[in-house]
Structure 1
Amino acid sequence: MTSTIERTTDWIAACAVADLEPGWAEVALMGDRMVAIVRVGSEEVYAVDHHDPHTGAPVMARGIVGSRGDRPTIASPLHKEVYDLGTGECFTDPALGLRTYRTRVVGGMIQVEFDA
């Protein structure tokens, strides 16, 4: 007997791409989660947990957006740990990691994927 496990997800609209300035982040309350939505390029958008992995404070949308080579990053505004926006990897402390969410742009709207 073979069983199949299906992973179900929901795409939830956060805001219009035009609502965000490139190189800037805003926080969105999506269900019971606070998510930092980060616009890097014209339609290059990332979503990460709004809570700082080191302190637990809800501050990541106020982080410093930048890059390491071709990898977009965000640095915590509190202790300046630098995280890869795509993977959540912390460049400055390998013990830390920032939760990331998949994003897409549909009809000019940013959508974030969550487990259903």
Structure 2
Amino acid sequence: MGMKILYLSLGGAAGTLSRYWLSGVAQRLAGTAFPLGTFMVNMAGCLFFGAVWGYFENRLLPGSGLRILALSGFMGAFTTFSTYMFETAELVKFGQYALALLNVVGQSLAGLALVLLGIALGRLL
């Protein structure tokens, strides 16, 4: 358990710093109100998650240190959007199209509604 925590911590620290850097650079370059920094982090995260998963899928056991460091630690801190898209892609891969659509639409609409609710609740405090 101690090594898993170390792997998660190292990967998480690297993912957080990478997200902060990439998001900031992309947003400064954009010079617009569109949240390009977040967009770029989410897209890079999807590409990286897919590449790492594809590489590790048949090479490393699910509980291996490197897999934990890269996918749970780094990617978990970099962006959870990649996990959301990976899970949706798995539904599509197995022909669960309605569930994939429900996942995308449901999380997007519920997420937006809950952020707005959270803002309203936070303002009441």
TM-score (norm: length of structure 2):
0.26
Structure 1 or 2: larger helix share? 2
**Which structure exhibits the higher relative contact order, with contacts defined as CA atoms closer than 8 Å and separated by 6 or more residues?**
2
Greater Cα radius of gyration, structure 1 or 2: 2
